[in-house]
A and B are shown apart, each in its own frame.
Chain A
C-alpha cells in the first residue's frame, strides 16, 4: 500500500472546510446504516417454555400451591417413618387418644377430648400421638400420611394414564382421521356413556375391592377427557399450513407428530393432566368413603374420613385432619392447574 502524503495546501483546505465559523446542523453526520448491527439482539429470544415459567411464577396462588404440594408429597414419603408406629399396628389401651404435640398445645394439640379431659394424664400415656389415635389405638399421623401416599399414587397413575392412553388415542384418532376417527370416537362415546360407579362395581364383582380395581376402572374411562382434548387440538393443527409445508418436504408421520403436532398441544395436555388429577384423587376417596375402595387395615384419606365421620361427635379430630389434608391436596392441584393454564395460554386470561 502506498500512502499519499497530503501537501500543506490540501491540509489547510480541509481544515477550513471542516471547521465552520458557527456550529450548524451540517455538523451532524448520520451514522451509516448497518442492517446486521441493527438486527442484533442482546439476549436470545425467550423460548415458549421459559416465558410460561415466568408467567407461572408471577401467579402467587400457583406458586404457593406448588410449594404446598411439594411439602405434602415429601411428608407422605417421610411422615410414616417419623415415629415408631406403623399404620396397621393396633394398641387397644391407647385407643381414641386426641392429638397431642409438645409445644403446640395452644393450637388444640393438647390431648384434651371434647369434654376437656386430658386423656393422656388420665390414662397415663407417656408417648405423644401427634394426630391422635383411632378406636384400635393406631397412630393417625402415620395413617394420614400413608393415606396421602395412596392419594398421590392415584394422582400419578391418573396422570400417567392420561398421558399414555389419552394422548396416543386422541392423537391417532385425529391424525389418521376419516373412518378410523369415526370408529374411535364412537368407542369413546360408549365408554363415557357407562357411569364410572357401574364400572367399578363390575370390577369389584370379579376382583376384590381395592386399589387394583380402582386403577382398572381408571384405565377404562379415566383418559377419555384427555383423548378428546388432544383430538380437538390436533384436528385444528393438522390443517395448519406449517404442517402441510412439512409434508411437502416429505416429513415422516413420526416427525410430524414429534416436531409439529405434539409441541403445539403440550400446553393443553399439561393443563388437562392437572385438572384430571384432583378428579382422580376425589374418585378414590369417594369410593373408599362408600366402602368400595381400599379395605382395612389399609389407610387412604377416604377410609380415614369415613372412620372419622362415624365418630364425628365424640372425636372430631379423626375427621378433621384427613379432611383438611385431602382438601389441601385438591385445592393445590386445582390452583396449580389454573395457574398453568394461564401461563401456557395467555389468551385465556381475563
Chain B
C-alpha cells in the first residue's frame, strides 16, 4: 500500500502536492445527440497551503471543476489524487466519507446557500452531526460558538435565522459551516461575487487569515481578476472547459502569454485616469462558442487575433514554456511556427 502510494506521488508530482488533477472531464448529456462538455480534460496540481485561482468567463466551466472536485458531480473521466487517495470512477463509501470531510465548498450566493428554515447553529453543526454523530449536544454547541468567533461573528448569533443577517455575515456563516468538519481543501466558488466591494475585502482577508492559521489549501474560483491576484499564489485561466494558461500570479499579470489571457488582463481598468486614457484594450470579437459545439483544433481560434491555419487542425498542447509557466498556444511552439513560416514568439 505504502509502496503504491509512493509510486503515485513520484509519478504524478512532488511530495507536497495536496491535490493532483489529471485529465479531468465532466460532460453533461443533454439529449441523445448533444453532449455539453463543461470540463474537457484539465490537469493541474495544488500544493499544501497554496491558493490556486481559477478565472474565466461565465460559462467556461470553472464552477463545474469545483463541483466535480467536491463530488457534487461525478466526473466523466480523469483521475484525481488527493492527499494520498486515488480517486477514479465511483467512490466507495469510506473514501466518499473522507472526501466529504476533507473537501469543502464555499458558495457564491450567500442568500441561497443557507437553509432559511434552520438556525445558524443548526446550519453550522450539520457537518458535525453527519461526521461525529456521537458528539454530545453540549460539545457541538461549544464548537459552533468557537467557529462563529473564528469567522468574526459571536455566539449570540447562533440561535438566529439566516434572514436576519447581511450578505457578508451570511458568507461568514457559510465559511463557518465549511470549517466545522476541519477540511484540508476548500473550493471557494466565487465567494465574493455577490458581495459589495467593501465586504469583498473583508471576506478575502478572512479567508487568508484562516489559511495562515490552519494551513488550508484553496481553489479560488472567480471572475474578478484583481481580487484573484490578491489572494492566489498561482492562477489558472480557463476557456471553454480547458485551462489555457497557468502561472504564478505575478508572472501571469506581468507577462501573459496566451492571447486570451492578454485580452482578459487588458480589460482591467486602471485606477490612474492618465494611464486609463492611454490603456490599450484588446477587444475580442464574437461570442464564446457553445460548449455543446466546440471548435476544432484550438478552441480559442474563432476569436483569436493571431489565429493561423494550424490552429484549426491541431489542438495546442498544454506545455511549460518556462519554469512554472504553462500555456496552450501554438505561438510558443517552435515546430508549428516553423511550419507556418512565422517567427516564434519568444517568452
Contacts and interface: CB of A to CB of B under 8 A. Distances in A.
A246 B97 CA distance: 13
A44 interface: yes
B157 to A, nearest CB: 7
A36 interface: yes
B99 to A, nearest CB: 8
B343 to A, nearest CB: 49
Interface stretch (A72-80, A255-263, A297-305, A333-341): A255-263
The winner among A36, A44, A241, A245 for most chain B CB atoms within 10 A is A245
A48 interface: yes
B116 A264 contact: yes
Interface in B240-285: none
A255 B130 contact: yes
B96 A250 contact: yes
Contacts of A31: none
B177 A250 contact: no
Given A241-B113, A242-B115, A263-B117, A40 B130 contact: no
A245 B119 CA distance: 15
B156 interface: yes
Contact of A245 (B101, B105, B164): B105
Interface in B58-104: 67, 70-72, 96-97, 100-101, 103-104
Contact of A251 (B103, B116, B123, B130): B130
A246 B114 CA distance: 10
Interface in B139-169: 154-157, 159-161, 164
Interface string B313-340: 0000000000000000000000000000
A268 to B, nearest CB: 13
A3 to B, nearest CB: 35
Interface string B228-245: 000000000000000000
Contact of A250 (B97, B113, B119): B97
A249 B181 contact: yes
B49 interface: no
B154 A36 contact: yes
Contacts of B174: 245
A231 B123 CA distance: 25
Nearest to A37: B156
A244 B107 contact: yes
A255 B97 CA distance: 15
B75 to A, nearest CB: 15
The winner among A248, A249, A259 for most chain B CB atoms within 10 A is A248
B161 A45 contact: yes
A240 interface: yes
A244 B114 CA distance: 10
Given A45-B161, A251-B130, A244 B156 contact: no
A45 B126 contact: no
Nearest to B157: A39
Given A45-B164, A249-B130, A242 B96 contact: no
B154 A244 contact: no
Contacts of A44: 159
A41 interface: yes
| Contact residues on B (Cβ < 8 Å of other chain), bracket | 35 or more
Given A39-B154, A45-B159, A48-B117, A248 B130 contact: no
A212 interface: no
Interface in B117-136: 117-119, 123, 126-127, 130-131
Nearest to B101: A250
A249 B115 contact: no
A45 B112 CA distance: 20
Contacts of B70: 248
A48 B117 CA distance: 7
A60 interface: no
Nearest to A250: B100
B117 A264 contact: yes
A39 B105 contact: no
A248 B104 contact: yes
A5 interface: no
B182 interface: no
A58 interface: no
B51 interface: no
B108 interface: yes
Contact of B105 (A36, A244, A259): A244
Interface string A46-58: 0110000000000
Contacts of B154: 35-36, 39
Nearest to A255: B130
Given A248-B70, A259-B115, 8 more contacts: A41-B156, A245-B107, A248-B71, A249-B104, A249-B131, A250-B131, A263-B118, A264-B116
Q: Which 9 A-B pairs have the closest CB atoms?
A: A250-B100, A241-B113, A241-B107, A263-B117, A242-B115, A249-B127, A39-B156, A248-B70, A240-B112
Interface of A: 35-36, 39-41, 44-45, 47-48, 240-242, 244-251, 255, 259-260, 263-264
28 contacts: A35-B154, A36-B156, A39-B154, A39-B157, A41-B156, A240-B112, A240-B113, A241-B108, A242-B113, A245-B174, A245-B178, A248-B70, A248-B71, A248-B100, A248-B104, A248-B105, A249-B131, A249-B181, A250-B100, A250-B101, A250-B131, A251-B126, A251-B130, A255-B130, A259-B118, A259-B126, A263-B117, A264-B116
